[in-house]
Amino acid sequence: MGLTGLEIFKQLPKTNCKDCGQPTCLAFAMALAGGKVSLDQCPHVSDAAKEALDSASAPPIALVKIGTGENAIELGNETVLFRHDKRFEHKTGIAVSVCDTMSADEIAAKVDQINKLVFDRVGQTHKVNLVAVGNCSNDAGKFVEAVKAADAKSVFPLVLMSEDPAAIEKALEITAAKKPLVCGANAANLEAMTNLVKKFDVPMVVKGADLNELAALVEKVVGMGHKQIILDSGAREVNKVLADQTQLRRQALKKFRPFGYPAIAVADNKDTFQAVVDAGVYIAKYAAIVVIDSADPADVLPLITLRLNVYTDPQKPIAVESKIYEIGNVDENSPVYITTNFSLTYFCVAGDVESSRVPGYILPVDTDGISVMTGWAAGKFTPEKITELLQTSGIADKVKHRKAIIPGGVAVLSGKLQELSSWEVLVGPRESAGIASFLKQRWL
């Protein structure tokens, strides 16, 4: 990543033979730096130069895949420390754990609950990503039974959490085809674990007692020829995890190769509330995977929401199309709501119209995906634009009445809007949550 043309040029044969289709080696180097050509288009580049260029142009954090099929996830490829520098690329995988001290039925029940941790937000589906099976019993046989039970139920890929190579081997024999994450290797079992994950071709967590040991272990694993690695600095207390995760990310961006992999954080605080809070810190601060114990939606919803927010591309707000939306069984008497096309705004309103149980039409004005008050302040949510939408969307053919409900926050628009559109303007509540009671007083 980010090699300059001159840095690349140094590695080329400098013969200007034109076989690559470029007039000179320098021109080729510039085109390569700009991503317009690929290195293999030069037939004369030496193997040594190829390797140097490949590794220098590799992203600072490797891409690692877990699972197969529609619930597979990709982690890594991050390029920044702060989301405002560009954006965070691959959102944190949330793993919910079960333990092999639970009975097969208990495991099945909890995995069922985990499968249901799917939430609709701003028109997208958001869910947890992994089921982590813990070898809490330290018994290989029990672990394999637990893995079987979880594997049978789970729609998500598994994390096999055992440091016993014998247990992992048996578990991989059952599940390897679904590409689970092995968690994992440490100083004591490094060789055996690495041989297993190589044999089954699955990703693996490497855990050090601290950052120094972690770097040494990763080098060994890479030396043995395995590169699907997830880092674990061994820290479990939130203050230490923050420090270590910050170091891992900073060092990766400085191209310290042993730390050029995604990292995992385990939120195992004994206080179950604090564990959720800790997990929130890990989502904001660089963890590629966070392991939690709770499958309670009250705990998981805030984490999933935080992840959505932190990983939103700062350069583009999520927007919906500006058109007529019908909520429920609308008819010619149904109310008409005006809002903006910022998806958060739209889905707040849509959710509240739905829970009012009165079918309605929603017309989001195209404000370039910004909220009601922001749109108003920026001159993008104006009486003119609302009028245009009322006149061109076709809503006048769908309803007999001529009443439009606007957000309470922009009550000041009502006079001008009424004048321009000749629709009667009803000022709704400030928060869309008040729509149900507003309807009772003003509509029905």
Partner 1 sequence: MAVTIAKERWTSKVNELVLGAEPNAIKVGGDGTLPFLFFEGDMPNRPVVALEVCDMEPADWPDILKDAFAGVLGDPVAWAKKCVEYGADLVCLRLSSAHPDNKNASPEDCAKTAKAVADAINVPMIVIGCGVEEKDAEIMPAVGEALAGKVALLGCATPNNYKTITAACMVSGHSIIASSPLDINLAKQLNILITEMGLAGNRIAIDPLVGALGYGIEYAYSIMERSRLGALTGDKMLAMPVICFVGQEAWKAKEAKASRDETPEWGDQARRAILWEVMTSTTFAQASGAIFVMRHPDSLKQFNAHVAKMMEPVKY
Q: Which residues bind partner 1 (CB under 8 A)?
A: 82-84, 116, 119, 121, 211-213, 215-216, 219, 237-240, 242-243, 246-247, 250-251, 254, 256, 258-259, 271, 273-274, 276-278, 280-281, 284-285, 296-299, 301-303, 305-306, 308-310, 312, 314, 344, 348, 351-352, 355, 371, 374, 377, 431, 433
286 to 78, 223, 295: CA distances (angstroms): 9, 26, 22
Which of ligand SF4, ligand B12, partner 1, none binds 378 (CB below 5-8 Å, type-dependent)? ligand B12
Which of ligand SF4, ligand B12, partner 1, none binds 15 (CB below 5-8 Å, type-dependent)? ligand SF4
Q: How many CB atoms lie within 10 A of CB 437?
A: 11
Both tokens of residue 219?
Answer: 């080098």
- The least distance separating partner 1 from the CB of residue 199, rounded to whole angstroms, comes to 26
Q: How far apart are the first and last CA of the chain?
A: 61
Alpha helices in 356-423 (DSSP H): 372-377, 383-392, 395-398, 414-421
Q: Is 377 in the site for ligand B12 (CB under 6 A)?
A: yes
Which of partner 1, ligand B12, ligand SF4, none binds 2 (CB below 5-8 Å, type-dependent)? none
Q: Of the two residues 134 and 280, which places its CB atom closer to partner 1 in the complex?
A: 280
CB 405 within 8 A of CB 426: yes
Both tokens of residue 191?
Answer: 């060789």
CB 45 within 8 A of CB 12: yes
What residue has token string 């007999």?
A: 400
Alpha helices in 58-189 (DSSP H): 104-115, 140-153, 165-175
- The least distance separating partner 1 from the CB of residue 429, rounded to whole angstroms, comes to 10
Which of partner 1, ligand SF4, ligand B12, none binds 215 (CB below 5-8 Å, type-dependent)? partner 1
Position among 179, 428, 439, 443 found at the interface with ligand B12 (CB under 6 A): 428
* Residues at the contact surface with ligand SF4, assessed by CB under 6 A: 12-13, 15-20, 22, 25, 28, 42, 44
Which of ligand B12, ligand SF4, partner 1, none binds 247 (CB below 5-8 Å, type-dependent)? partner 1
CB contact set of 319 (below 8 Å; sequence gap of 6+):
341, 342, 343, 366, 368, 369
Position among 344, 363, 365, 417 found at the interface with ligand B12 (CB under 6 A): 344
Cα diameter, the chain: 83
Q: How many residues touch ligand B12 (CB under 6 A)? A: 29
Q: Is 371 in the site for ligand B12 (CB under 6 A)?
A: yes
Which of ligand SF4, partner 1, ligand B12, none binds 355 (CB below 5-8 Å, type-dependent)? partner 1
Q: Of the two residues 167 and 242, which places its CB atom closer to partner 1 in the complex?
A: 242
- The least distance separating ligand SF4 from the CB of residue 18, rounded to whole angstroms, comes to 5
CA-wise closest residue to 393 among 351, 363, 438, 360? 363
CA-wise closest residue to 342 among 432, 436, 443, 434? 432
Q: Of the two residues 41 and 113, which places its CB atom closer to ligand SF4 in the complex?
A: 41
Q: Is 342 in the site for ligand B12 (CB under 6 A)?
A: yes
Q: What CA–CA distance (Å, rounded) separates 380 from 372?
A: 9
Q: What CA–CA distance (Å, rounded) separates 32 from 26?
A: 10
Site for ligand B12 in 82-101 (CB under 6 A): none
Q: Of the two residues 56 and 396, which places its CB atom closer to ligand SF4 in the complex?
A: 56
Q: What CA–CA distance (Å, rounded) separates 266 from 282?
A: 9
Please, how many CA atoms are within 13 Å of residue 332, restricted to the half-sphere of its CB?
4
Site for ligand B12 in 381-420 (CB under 6 A): 405-409
Element (H, E) at 281: helix 272-284
By CB under 6 A, name the binding residues for ligand B12.
Answer: 317, 337-340, 342, 344-345, 348-349, 369-374, 376-378, 405-409, 428-429, 431-432, 435
